[in-house]
Amino acid sequence: MDGVAGMIPYRVGALVDRNIAEPLVCVSDTEEMFAYFSVSESDELARSARLGTQEIVFRSANRAIPVVNGVIDAVSGTVDTRTGTINIRARIPNRDKILYDGSIGTVLVSLKKADCIVIPQTATYEIQNRTFVYKVVDGRAVSASIEVEDIGNGREYIVLSGLKAGDKIVTEGAGLLREGTEITESITAKTASR
């Protein structure tokens, strides 16, 4: 068979026969690799993964190896009761033989959401595991409880409830404000290229 041979654990002259406990050599077919990972059962990916079309990016722990693309091809139908996670498998083509059997790394999955509100994490503060923002109402700060989903980029949240389009919020320093603080509006324009 074609593949990549591992190390042979025996020296020249060692006695081997069909009853040896360890294989003479292991050959791995690395033309196609599989990445196994787990996500929380509450994670949207566990509910919305589209088999064969949901793309992933695999970044090896060795940063010198380029990232490679793959697709999710299996999602476990059961939840691991010990960890509360669901196992997922992604198929990664490896024609250039850049990945090795047993490699570890990070799986990046992009999910698209339409018609959602995204706010900076600096606009929020937490009290007893609840997330709050300060809305600007009649020029004053008014706290509002919101439910958010972490995007995973360390900068932004998707708002699931508690805000609606058109609401004005304090975007920075929310943890330093107090209820009723007078707010002076300042608008920063940002440009972006397509």
Which numeric CATH code is attached to 117-176?
Answer: 2.40.420.20
Query: What is the distance between the alpha carbons of residues 127 and 143, in angstroms, rounded to a whole number?
Result: 11
Tell which wins on pLDDT, 194 or 154.
154
- 21: helix, strand or coil: coil
Query: What is the distance between the alpha carbons of residues 17 and 19, in angstroms, rounded to a whole number?
Result: 5
Tens of pLDDT, residue by residue over 119-171, are: 888 889 888 889 999 998 888 888 999 998 887 777 888 888 899 888 888 88
Give the helix ranges, DSSP H, for 44-107: 44-48
Tell which wins on pLDDT, 1 or 174.
174
What does each C-alpha distance from 82 to 44, 59, 77, 87, 108 come to in angstroms? 20, 27, 15, 13, 24
Residue extents of the structural domains in the chain: 29-109, 117-176
Tens of pLDDT, residue by residue over 36-49, are: 998 888 777 777 77
Which numeric CATH code is attached to 29-109?
Answer: 2.40.30.170
